[in-house]
A and B are shown apart, each in its own frame.
Chain A
């Protein structure tokens, strides 16, 4: 109880030095100009952003936004009924069932993504199963397409959607549903006018937490996307690791930060005071 306040200082300093300051370096790079191999002229140049404002690159952003949107909606459609199922179990099973969602989330994203290569490939178990059943008559051709990337991101980030939804549904005042039904609302009306508004902070939080990492995803498109899928994450890593054009790579990442900031502002605006409740539910 009597712990001194300065105990927060080391963590604070650490985060400022190794999280905030590097972001400052990235901003500096994005305002610089590449002058050959590993030489960057710093200054206040808008060159990188002008270059970014080109249909070629804007289309990559558009493709990524579309993928992240579909992925987020997919997570919500799968995650909402699932979170509802979880939250309405008796407390004995609830703990165990919730625990079973946490475990895969904390295990290696790389391995979980890689396993889809084993499942989705032409000679894989899914392909043979679907051919045997007669759903398809040629080997399954989905690996190394956008479809596979979509499956991958939904699989990887579903738990991040489920956690806040679960908390929101569990906290909901259950008697309100009963009241709504007693007053003559249909099941659908009750869901739309009572359950949905009450769990709205959970929905918003879940969407924020899945959309942002999907926008900057780099591992999933590399493993499941093949050469045809080129997303913002692939562009950034390409500029940094292969093209060695750091100023441009930094500018592309600034685009990701811009998307993130816009979403956070929208989130805080829409939820207002309920934002803290939404975010606080995640851990």
Chain B
């Protein structure tokens, strides 16, 4: 039996004995899950173009709420605060996370396990717990609630995310190129700047974009640590929702979705590219330079 025939049999075996009914059922279920995942997002987008003042009733296509929402001073302010806190969070998390991922390559197994455990705890702890713990600490030591407090609390989760993304990328990288550079007499710093960093950059950018997105969308942490006058956009929406629905919320939702989905798509494409970019092409570049 040829290798390809073998693979075909194995794939069939994985599809539960090649049984067609099961395969079809799995396919139908898969399609339904995609509908489930995307229908709500589609609904928000459609309703943002609804003319009606009463959100629940469809009255016809209109762009008027876009104008209303974008002129609203509270929402504009919220958008501005979200944007700059998310940018600061992303920068901070990217610097700390990238450094940590690089350092982790050279530490012993025990240190690495401890550090990993730490990062997983930060990822897994319910946001609500992290939020009120931070609130209590800030108020006790006298750190004012507001933009700084928002950036600090948002950074915890994101440092962990960036570290893990970069570590995965570093693990998939060919170290022989760095070794070659060192053997050829490059200094540690030159090796880092000319060999390691170029390979790492797409993943660094992806980590930064994901950190921005997370921070930009966060509502739980910000609800507790944003002071008066520094309410980010999601918290504005969250409190508006408790008082009732408004067509403006749909517009804000679509605007936010557009920004974040763009960032996520770019981040994922960067990560994929980085994985695919072979050591061979990089070697060629190094020789050219």
Contact = CB atoms under 8 A, between A and B. Distances in A.
A86 B30 contact: yes
Most buried by A among B95, B220, B234, B265: B220
A1 B99 contact: no
Interface of B is mostly: helix
B157 to A, nearest CB: 9
A101 B90 CA distance: 23
Q: How large is the interface on B (under 10, 10 to 19, 20 to 34, 35 or more residues)?
A: 35 or more
A102 B25 CA distance: 23
Nearest to B54: A123
Nearest to B250: A118
A108 B256 contact: yes
Contacts of A12: 100, 115, 118
B46 to A, nearest CB: 9
Contacts of B165: 283
Contacts of B156: 15, 18-19
Interface string B149-183: 00011011001110111001000000100110010
Nearest to B125: A260
A88 interface: yes
B256 A1 contact: no
B132 A236 contact: yes
Interface of A is mostly: helix
Given A8-B103, A15-B156, A110-B219, A256 B128 contact: yes
A8 B115 contact: yes
Contacts of B153: 18
B278 interface: no
Contacts of A78: 33, 36
Contact of B130 (A22, A106, A116): A22
Interface in B1-24: 9-11, 13-17, 19, 22
Interface stretch (A44-52, A54-62, A130-138, A210-218): A210-218
Contact of B124 (A7, A191, A209, A250): A209
Interface stretch (B60-68, B70-78, B209-217, B281-289): B209-217
A240 B224 contact: yes
Nearest to A116: B40
Contacts of B179: 1
A99 B268 contact: yes
A241 B37 CA distance: 33
A58 B222 CA distance: 28
A26 B133 contact: yes
B159 to A, nearest CB: 6
Interface residues of A, number: 93
Contact of B14 (A82, A100, A174): A174
Contacts of A114: 44, 237, 241, 249, 253
A56 B132 CA distance: 22
B102 A95 contact: no
Nearest to B161: A283
Interface string A163-203: 00000000010110110010000010011000000000000
Contacts of B97: 11
A23 B160 CA distance: 17
Given A11-B96, A109-B217, A19 B130 contact: yes
26 contacts: A1-B196, A3-B102, A3-B106, A7-B99, A8-B115, A11-B100, A12-B100, A15-B122, A22-B130, A81-B29, A100-B34, A102-B264, A104-B37, A155-B36, A158-B33, A174-B10, A174-B11, A178-B13, A187-B22, A215-B126, A216-B129, A217-B128, A233-B128, A253-B128, A253-B129, A260-B126
Interface of A: 1-12, 14-15, 18-19, 21-23, 25-26, 29, 78, 81-82, 84-86, 88, 95, 97, 99-104, 106-112, 114-119, 121-125, 155, 158-159, 172, 174-175, 177-178, 181, 187, 190-191, 208-209, 212-213, 215-219, 222-223, 233, 236-237, 240-241, 246, 249-250, 253, 256-257, 260, 264, 279, 283
Given A118-B44, A213-B127, 16 more contacts: A3-B102, A12-B118, A15-B119, A101-B37, A102-B268, A110-B234, A110-B237, A112-B40, A112-B41, A114-B241, A118-B47, A172-B14, A174-B10, A177-B13, A257-B125, A283-B164
